[in-house]
């Protein structure tokens, strides 16, 4: 479809007179991609120029004369077909020049598409004090011309519509509401997208602030050794201080990795305890550990909650293994079951000598036996029995983590 559009941009004469010398018609149009445009440049008769000496440029590039049409001695038109999206959001520069290259008039072309409906609108509150929301542009996003996004919200059953004002969070398509939020009352929240070609509105989400609470990462995260056990570390941390006055039950996750690795292993079953023991680790190895928190059920909320960021990494190393230093060998697959039975037999034999009654059976008692076993290996190494191989517990029987 061919549309005749006219822009008028007046460029003052080089002389002191304010009489316009030329104009483009139409001025600064907004067009859909794929459309056509015919624009005219009319020069003032006082200028003494003839239209057949003028030419057009788009973004500094001269347009071919085959696109021109001499409308009159003072008017030259240009026709552009199947326009592509604007190369810059400030618009493409269409300029009319005199034969000697001087600029006579100019216009900006805004070529794109109407915005599409924003999607993936999600919100979260840090410690119930504020609300942040983010979304994703629909379809092609900015559609070549600048699109304005406005986050709007209101109380579900009453209250006036309000607009979020702080879009300076450092992340695109995010807005921050710092204060004046009600608890125990649902909000309706949506996003409107608009540009020069139209508007679009996201789906409305309904939420209660207490259902979307996240918190600061756990603080005072400490990692330490478990006596002389070379395959274990203990992790302790503090509960979120910002939520100390709220009724809730926190869930925690731990992740850890080797010093020279980027692969994290996650421990999901920590529960609401503020300590955990990691087992099945490598001896003589530095581990980095992080913890995060999910404040579940604040004031009886039934929602799952939102995980906090991970805490700053804390590090500790497991003790070196004397057995590994003196030479080791792994058991063959067929030997693993007999190895496990032999070690369990040693353990229960040790229990009969050192524990009395069923009350003595505990993880701590197992730890004491592990220490005794390691010391016995050290003693054997010191007297020169270096030919005793190190037999590791099969991986499927190791305890990888447990709560203290």
Residue 187 contacts residue 206 (beta carbons within 8 Å):
yes
Per the structure, the count of domains in the chain is 3
Q: Are strands 103-112 and 30-32 parallel, antiparallel or unpaired?
A: parallel
Distance CA 387, CA 120 (A): 63
Question: Are residues 200 and 262 both part of a single domain?
Answer: no
DSSP state of 4: B
Task: Note whether residue 341 is domain-resident.
Answer: no
Distance CA 143, CA 115 (A): 7
| Number of separate helices (H) and strands (E) present in the chain | 3, 26
Reduced DSSP (H G I as helix, E B as strand, rest coil) percent helix, strand, coil of the chain, to 5? 20, 35, 50
Decide: residue 382, CB within 10 A, 0-12 exposed, 13-18 middle, 19+ buried: exposed
Of the candidates 277, 308, 296, the one whose C-alpha atom is nearest the C-alpha of residue 370 is 277
Task: Note whether residue 352 is domain-resident.
Answer: no
Q: pTM for this structure? A: 0.66
Question: Are residues 108 and 130 both part of a single domain?
Answer: no
Single residue among 211, 238, 269 that ends a domain in this structure: 211
Distance CA 135, CA 203 (A): 11
Distance CA 1, CA 182 (A): 53
Q: CA-CA distances (angstroms) from residue 375 to 58, 224, 381?
A: 84, 20, 10
Question: What CATH number is given to the structural domain containing 235?
Answer: 2.60.40.10
Task: Note whether residue 394 is domain-resident.
Answer: no
pLDDT one digit per residue (tens) for the chain, 404 residues: 333 333 333 333 333 345 567 899 999 999 999 999 999 999 988 888 899 999 999 999 999 999 999 999 999 999 999 999 888 878 899 999 999 999 999 999 999 999 999 999 999 998 888 999 999 998 766 678 888 999 999 998 887 899 999 998 788 899 999 988 998 889 999 999 999 999 999 999 999 998 999 988 998 999 999 988 999 999 999 988 777 777 677 889 999 999 999 999 999 878 888 999 999 999 999 999 999 998 887 777 778 789 999 999 999 999 987 654 433 334 445 555 555 556 666 665 655 555 543 434 455 566 666 666 666 655 544 444 443 333 333 343 343 444 45
């Amino acid at each position: 479809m061919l549309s005749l559009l006219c822009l008028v941009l007046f460029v003052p004469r080089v002389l002191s007179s304010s009489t316009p010398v030329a104009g483009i018609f139409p001025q600064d149009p907004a067009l859909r991609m794929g459309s056509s445009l015919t624009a005219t440049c009319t020069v003032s008769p006082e200028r003494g120029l003839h239209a057949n000496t003028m030419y057009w440029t788009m973004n500094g590039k001269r347009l071919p004369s085959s696109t021109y049409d001499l409308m009159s001695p003072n008017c030259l038109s240009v026709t552009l077909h199947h326009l592509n999206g604007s190369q810059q959001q400030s618009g493409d520069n269409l300029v009319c020049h005199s034969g000697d290259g001087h600029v006579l008039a100019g216009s900006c072309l805004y070529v794109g598409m109407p915005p599409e409906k924003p999607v993936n609108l999600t919100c979260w509150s840090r410690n119930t004090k504020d609300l942040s929301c983010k979304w994703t542009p629909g379809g092609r996003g900015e559609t070549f011309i600048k699109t304005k996004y406005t986050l709007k919200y209101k109380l579900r059953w009453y209250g006036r519509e309000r607009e979020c004002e702080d879009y300076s969070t450092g992340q695109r398509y995010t807005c921050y509401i710092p204060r004046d939020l009600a608890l125990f009352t649902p909000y309706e929240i949506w996003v409107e997208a608009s540009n020069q070609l139209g508007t679009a509105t996201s789906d409305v989400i309904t939420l209660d602030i207490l259902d979307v609470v996240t918190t600061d990462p756990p603080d005072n995260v400490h990692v330490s050794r478990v006596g002389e056990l070379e395959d274990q570390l203990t992790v302790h941390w503090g509960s979120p201080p910002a939520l100390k006055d709220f009724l809730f039950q926190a869930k925690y996750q731990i992740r850890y990795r080797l010093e020279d690795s980027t692969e994290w292993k996650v421990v999901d079953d920590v529960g609401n305890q503020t300590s955990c023991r990691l087992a099945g680790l490598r001896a003589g190895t530095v581990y980095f550990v992080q913890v995060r928190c999910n404040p579940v059920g604040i004031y009886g909320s039934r929602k799952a909650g939102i995980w906090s960021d991970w805490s700053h990494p804390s590090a500790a190393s497991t003790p070196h293994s004397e057995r590994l230093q003196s030479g080791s060998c792994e058991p063959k697959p067929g030997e693993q079951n007999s190895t496990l039975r032999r070690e369990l037999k040693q353990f229960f034999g040790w229990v009969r000598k050192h524990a009395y009654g069923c009350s003595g059976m505990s993880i701590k008692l197992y730890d004491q036996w592990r220490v005794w076993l390691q010391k016995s290996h050290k003693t054997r190494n010191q007297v020169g029995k270096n030919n005793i191989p190190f037999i590791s517990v099969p991986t499927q029987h190791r305890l990888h983590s447990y709560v203290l």
